[in-house]
């Protein structure tokens, strides 16, 4: 086993896993499981990348407070990085996102400031901007920071190219939150594997890229209001109510070939199938990306290799609709199994 100077050395080098029981038999379907990052998501990469870039440029001073707006995964990654490096961290987060994420960030030492759900992602971004300006804090600006896609070009993309060296890579399928994974990986694939078709996934309720409609922005590039094609969806951390500048760069640079949309139920069904058929435990956004990969697989030529990004672990979603039908108490089948043993008394209900 390798030895590391800190937990930060374990970020990246996540495994690519073959899918064997799900999907059509005429293609080879693979997933890159970002839950293997130390804090359980692809955003660990972003967190380390933006902090180290700020340190190198001098934009982040020793002991300075870091502030960021996040649905959770970036905040959790930043909390880990800031804990190691000694920076105070303040997170702004819409109250619409799961309580697990708030607790994880606070457990790691971050302060979490909640914004009204009605203000959506734009509200938490504006709050972070206001706090940074008022207090002189360093704002990481994940949605527009070039260090975000650069980190993925330097790590995620290099891992993919190495893992498919000497093999076909016909399709790369990914959703987007900030657009860092999409833009950073696609830039490298366009240059080194131009035969690879890049597929970007959106919720059908928030098909902003697919709509072709522009995003209304301020002079500094920030979104002024929700995108006209955005409606609420269950994919936390995926497709905020604006097209981030980083994701917009992927569009302007023509870094993807097709947009595939998926519904909330499709994503949750795919996440459950991955757990119960492949033993791969991931969240709703990963399920949505995988659901799109299955759509791509249906019409892909025989023998195609398809790689799908799975951005985080399912443990971020225990309080969400993903687990709505998963009970702590025994169901009827489990009760029948328990009572089938002679002499056994009715077990007590599980503690809440």
**Catalytic residue list:** 43, 285
User: By the 8 A CB rule, do 297 and 305 touch?
Assistant: no
d(CA 268, CA 229): 22
The tokens for 308 are 């799908």
Query: Residue 59 gets which letter from DSSP?
Result: -
Contact (Cβ atoms closer than 8 angstroms) between residue 237 and residue 181: no
CA distances from 272 to 22, 98, 114, 150, 310 (A): 12, 18, 30, 32, 13
- Nearest by Cα to 28 from 144, 173, 169: 169
Cβ atoms of 171 and 199 closer than 8 Å: yes
Helix (H) or strand (E) holding 126: helix 120-135
Residues whose CB falls within 8 Å of the CB of residue 66, separated by 6 or more in sequence, listed in order = 51, 60, 78, 82, 87, 88, 89, 90, 137, 138, 139, 140
Largest CA distance in the chain: 74
Q: Do 132 and 100 contact (CB within 8 A), yes or no? A: no
């Amino acid at each position: 086993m390798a030895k590391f100077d800190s937990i930060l050395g374990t970020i990246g080098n996540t495994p690519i896993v073959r899918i064997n029981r799900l999907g059509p038999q005429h293609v080879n379907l693979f997933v890159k499981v970002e839950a293997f990052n130390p804090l359980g998501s692809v955003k660990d990469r972003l967190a380390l990348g933006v902090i180290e870039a700020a340190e190198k440029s001098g934009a982040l001073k020793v002991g300075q407070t870091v502030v960021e707006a996040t649905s959770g995964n970036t905040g959790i990654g930043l909390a880990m990085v800031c804990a190691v490096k000694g920076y105070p961290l303040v997170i702004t987060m819409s109250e619409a996102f799961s309580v697990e994420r708030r607790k994880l960030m606070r457990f790691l030492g971050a302060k979490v400031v909640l914004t009204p759900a009605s203000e959506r992602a734009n509200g938490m971004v504006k709050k972070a901007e206001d706090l940074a300006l008022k207090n002189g804090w360093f704002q990481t600006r994940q949605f527009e920071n070039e260090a975000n896609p650069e980190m993925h070009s330097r790590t995620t993309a290099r891992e993919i190219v190495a893992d498919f060296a000497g093999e076909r890579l016909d399709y790369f399928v990914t959703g987007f939150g900030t657009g860092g994974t999409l833009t950073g990986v696609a830039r490298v694939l366009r240059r080194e594997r131009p035969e690879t078709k890049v597929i970007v996934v959106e919720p059908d309720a928030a098909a902003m890229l697919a709509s072709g409609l522009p995003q209304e922005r301020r002079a500094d590039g920030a979104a002024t209001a929700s995108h006209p094609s955005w409606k609420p969806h269950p994919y936390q951390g995926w497709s905020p109510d604006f097209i981030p500048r980083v994701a917009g760069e992927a569009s302007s640079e023509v870094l993807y070939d097709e947009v595939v949309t998926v519904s909330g139920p499709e994503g949750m069904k795919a996440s459950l199938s991955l757990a119960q058929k492949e033993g791969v435990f991931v969240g709703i956004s990963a399920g949505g990306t995988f659901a799109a990969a299955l759509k791509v697989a249906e019409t892909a030529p025989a023998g195609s290799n398809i790689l799908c990004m799975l951005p985080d672990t399912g443990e971020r979603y225990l309080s969400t609709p993903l687990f709505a039908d998963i009970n702590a108490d025994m169901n009827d089948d489990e009760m029948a199994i328990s009572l089938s043993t002679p002499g056994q008394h009715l077990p007590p209900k599980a503690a809440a």
